[in-house]
Amino acid sequence: MYRKALFLDLDGTLLNDKKQITAGNRAALNAALAAGHSISITSGRPLVSTAPLADTLHLDSPGCYVIACNGCVFYDNHKKEVISSITLPPGITEKVFAEAGRRGIHIQTYDESKVIVEPRCADAEVSEYCRRIGMQWGVIEHIRDLKRTPEKILAIDFNSRKPLDDLRSWISDEYGDLLDTYYSNNNYVEIVKKGINKGEAILRMAEILGIPPENTIAAGDAENDISMIRSANTGIAMSNASPEVKASANYITQKDNNHDGIAEIIEKFIVTV
């Protein structure tokens, strides 16, 4: 058997608009795992959110993995072990937080268990974000007091992309040699260490698993999924994906994330369900 590695974004891809998995998608995932293939949830979400969600989706058997924070964290969701973790450059978090504060932009990061904000950002944005992904949040007086260097920073604006675009431009000008930024949806800008992205991550995970690049399949719907869609041998955009994501793919699903789009991918490229 030629073992394949399937890499799936969560929101807008594997999950429907109610943040659930459809019955058809679940059956297809079970069939792929039973046939010996590998499935990696590949998300911008932090591990503390992604791994428990993978458990609730029953993606915790042998062959199930999590790639969190856009490629910063690799996790074996069967053994419950971190494979590797890449953090932001030391001292950079405080600088980005300070600039976001000057611009009045909501900015947050993460510790081992929750979202972390400074008092200024104990606001509607963090509450809505945590409601959407099922996390708790906490306040720290100064981000420099955070006890660990985080894997990523997230900037949020639910009203306009322009402030986020302007912050991205500033980061590129000031720290383009240290940081990468990209949208995970229209409201979220992900900020990670330079060179960290889902595309690099899926190739590294395939190497760890001993699966050749030609056996990789990746599916997504948002800007932060483009790198893995381009890196995978079979790069797939959901029918509900943005136009730039569709332009990067070599296959676009007929079904969307609400109607068994992942089952369509598995049946076409991996196993017959």
Give the pLDDT of residue 245: 97
Residue 97 confidence class, pLDDT cut points 50, 70, 90 = very high
Q: What percent of the chain has pLDDT over 70?
A: 99
Give the pLDDT of residue 2: 81
Mean per-residue pLDDT over the chain, rounded: 96
Q: What percent of the chain has pLDDT over 90?
A: 97
Instruction: State how beta strands 251-252 and 153-156 pair.
Output: unpaired
User: Shortest CA distance to 64 belongs to which of 38, 35, 93?
Assistant: 38
Half-sphere exposure of 181 (CA within 13 A, CB side): 22
Tokens of 30: 């079970």
Helix (H, G, I), strand (E, B) or coil at 218: strand
- Express each pLDDT in 218-247 by its tens digit: 999 999 999 999 999 999 999 999 999 999
Tokens of 85: 């973790």
Contacts of 58 (CB under 8 A, 6+ apart): 26, 30
Please say if the pLDDT value at position 272 is more than 90.
Answer: no
H helices of the chain, in order, are 23-34, 47-56, 92-103, 124-133, 162-175, 198-209, 226-231, 243-248, 261-269
Please say if the pLDDT value at position 263 is more than 70.
Answer: yes
Give the pLDDT of residue 1: 55
- Express each pLDDT in 7-25 by its tens digit: 999 999 999 999 999 999 9
Domains in the chain: ranges and CATH: 5-86+196-269 (3.40.50.1000), 92-193 (3.30.1240.10)
- Express each pLDDT in 136-152 by its tens digit: 999 999 999 999 999 99
Q: What are phi and psi of 83, to 5 degrees?
A: -85, -45
Give the pLDDT of residue 273: 58
**∠ at Cα 144 (142, 150), nearest 5°?**
115
Helix (H, G, I), strand (E, B) or coil at 239: coil
Q: What is the mean pLDDT of residues 162-187?
A: 97
Please say if the pLDDT value at position 155 is more than 80.
Answer: yes
pTM of the model: 0.92
